[in-house]
Amino acid sequence: MVRLFTALSVTDDVAGTLAHRQTGLPGANWRTHDQLHITLTFYGEVDGHRADDLAVELEKAAAGGPFEIALAGVGAFGDEHRIRTLWAGIEPNERLSVLAGRCRKAAERAGIPVERRDYRPHLTLAYLKPQTNPDRIGAWIAGHNLLHSPPVRIDRFGLYSSVLTQDGSHYELEREYLL
């Protein structure tokens, strides 16, 4: 079994822009450049046969050609008890949503069940320790909420495997698909 997801990688320019913002919040476990990505679809644990089927089906998702996206704002995920994640937002983009939908359909054709929920594109910046001060989180968000990037050209996406370790997740590009 292998843990899989499809995602867009982050250019060096975007990673550099984000690195300047990934400071000033005690309790934040900031994501490194090689951990930064925009998830299209998370597949979870997949057996080898279905992983091979998925890799083939994803070829069909690569239709449509290159497009552009832009980062816009920051925010947080959590529940009423605790904020767990800081993220950079992505401007609404129909082409990105269509690509994510095609990746989901590829999973269905490969016999891999995926979670049914609205696609909310984002780029995870940090996971937060439980003791992170909520006031400091709010101040960090307020201080960085005007984040906006120039357009970033998207001409490929990848199928990644993920291994959970004590130091966080390690991602490996398994296959790349040109748009």
147: which 2 tokens?
């984040």
In this prediction, residues 22-31 reach a mean pLDDT of 96
Phi, psi of 135 (to 5 degrees): -65, -40
Is the pLDDT score of 16 beyond 90? yes
Domain that holds residue 154: 2-178
Least confident of 3-17, 64-78, 164-178: 164-178
The residues near 153 (Cβ < 8 Å, ≥ 6 apart) are: 66, 67, 68
Say if CB 60 and CB 164 are below 8 A apart: no
Tell me the pLDDT band of 166, cut-offs 50, 70 and 90: confident
118: which 2 tokens?
């609205």
- Span 123-155, pLDDT tens digits: 999 999 999 999 999 999 999 999 999 999 999
- Span 57-109, pLDDT tens digits: 999 999 889 999 999 999 999 988 899 999 999 999 999 999 999 999 999 99
d(CA 159, CA 75): 26
Burial class (CB in 10 A: 0-12, 13-18, 19+), 72: middle
In one-letter notation, the amino acid at residue 9 is S
92: which 2 tokens?
């609404």
CATH number at residue 118: 3.90.1140.10
Q: What is the DSSP letter of 90?
A: E
Beta bridge partners of 156: 178
Total domains, the chain: 1
Task: Decide: pTM greater than 0.75.
Answer: yes
Say if CB 27 and CB 132 are below 8 A apart: yes
Q: Mean pLDDT, the chain, as a whole number?
A: 95
d(CA 125, CA 129): 13
